[in-house]
Amino acid sequence: MSPRQPVLFLSHGSPLTALGGDELASSWARLAGRLSRPAAILMVSAHWTTRIPMLSGGAQPGTIHDFGGFPAELYALRYPVPGDPGLALRVKQVLAGTGIAAGVDASRGLDHGAWVPLRSLFPDADVPVVQLSVQPERCARHHFALGRALAAFSDENVLVIGSGHMTHNLMDYMHPTGALPAAESRAFREWVHALVLGGGEAAIEALFDWERQAPGARAAHPTPEHFLPLFVALGAAGAEYKTEWLGGGWVEDALAADGYLFERVQ
């Protein structure tokens, strides 16, 4: 029998985290020592946004440097991991079976939401990776349903990772104008953190309504794409699970970088 993998939500940090040395990279290093080697990784990244769910279907996905203004050494980094076209097709079929239309893009590489944390977690780049997009025009419930459709893959030794950010106001990061972390981001982070750790149906329902209920929601996430991978991870965790906080800290005292591990108990 294949080992059951947990489900992860990771805040992927600045591209500079790929160079190591910050609190977030340290949290990934600690996590790497605990994870068993999966047969494949299904990575849901905030940096691939589409109208319908799309899956990377190439056998050798390239490393996408989807950022600008960083040191040259960052653009020299590569993560030459294999893809898994068969897994991409299977995920598409499973989603179709639940009424979710999806597609496969054989030319899509791995953006920094995928390869930055994966370089720390699996530095040998020998575990096949399939990337899955998010749909910013769709709600949290849609992304939770997307994750729930993927829950069974954990039993097949596939590691499902939602890669986004607990808060993602880039103006705070690039052009801070006041004390950091910003009060709105702190309040949002504490609200979400309590609900994720508390778990249960009521907590999930509150999280679904995060744009109205969460304090500082609009300031913490001017656009939703970096928060939506959390809902895919929550859905993929299954009906009953234990939650562990992985730490992560704050990137440049501006972006909350919490990570969570969800382990199904049934």
Each residue's pLDDT tens digit, 6-35: 999 999 999 999 998 888 999 999 999 999
| 2 within a domain of the structure (yes/no) | no
Query: How many residues does this entry show for the chain?
Result: 266
Q: Determine, yes or no, domain membership for 154.
A: yes
Mean pLDDT of the chain: 96
> Tens digit of pLDDT for each residue in 135-174?
999 999 999 999 999 999 999 999 999 999 999 999 998 8
Helices (H), the chain: 23-32, 72-75, 85-97, 112-121, 140-150, 170-174, 183-198, 201-208, 210-213, 217-220, 228-236
Provide the residue range defining the domain that includes 232. 7-264
CATH of the domain at 58: 3.40.830.10
Pairing verdict, β 259-264 and 241-247: antiparallel
In a domain, 73, yes or no: yes
**pTM (two decimals):** 0.97
Residue 219 covered by a domain: yes
Q: End-to-end alpha-carbon separation of the chain, Å?
A: 16
Tens digit of each residue's pLDDT (9 = 90 or more) over 30-47: 999 999 999 999 999 999
1 domain residue, yes or no? no
Q: Is 191 inside a domain boundary?
A: yes
Structure tokens at 65: 């440097």
pLDDT at 21: 83
Rounded to whole angstroms, what are the CA distances from 58 to 104, 128, 262? 9, 11, 28
The total domain count for the chain is 1
Those residues whose C-beta lies under 8 Å from the C-beta of residue 172, and which sit 6 or more positions away, are: 180, 181, 182, 185, 254, 255
Q: Is residue 181 part of a domain?
A: yes
Q: How many CB atoms lie within 10 A of CB 77?
A: 15
Within a domain: residue 203? yes
